[in-house]
Amino acid sequence: MRYNKIQVLSAMRETGLVPVFYHADADTAKQVLKACYEGGIRAFEFTNRGDFAHEVFGELVKYAAKECPDMILGAGSIVEPAAASLYIQLGANFIVGPLFNPEVAKVCNRRLVPYTPGCGSVSEVGFAQECGCDLCKVFPGDVLSPKFVKGLKAPMPWSMLMITGGVKPEEDNLRGWFQAGATCVGMGSNLFPKDVIAAKDWDKITALCREALDIIKRVR
pLDDT tens, position by position, 154-199:
999 999 999 999 999 999 999 999 999 999 999 999 999 999 999 9
Share of the chain above pLDDT 90, in %: 98
Give the CA distances from residue 92 to residues 33, 80, 107, 207, 218, in Å, rounded to whole numbers and listed in that order.
14, 15, 13, 26, 31
d(CA 164, CA 145): 11
Average pLDDT, the chain: 97
| Residue 2 confidence (pLDDT) | 87
Amino acid at 43: A
Average pLDDT over residues 70-88: 98
CATH superfamily assigned to domain 5-215: Aldolase class I (3.20.20.70)
pLDDT tens, position by position, 85-119:
999 999 999 999 999 999 999 999 999 999 999 99
Say whether 161 sits in a helix, a strand or coil.
strand
Give the CA distances from residue 58 to residues 13, 24, 86, 89, 101, in Å, rounded to whole numbers and listed in that order.
25, 12, 10, 9, 24
Residue 5 has pLDDT above 80, yes or no: yes
Per-domain residue ranges of the chain:
5-215
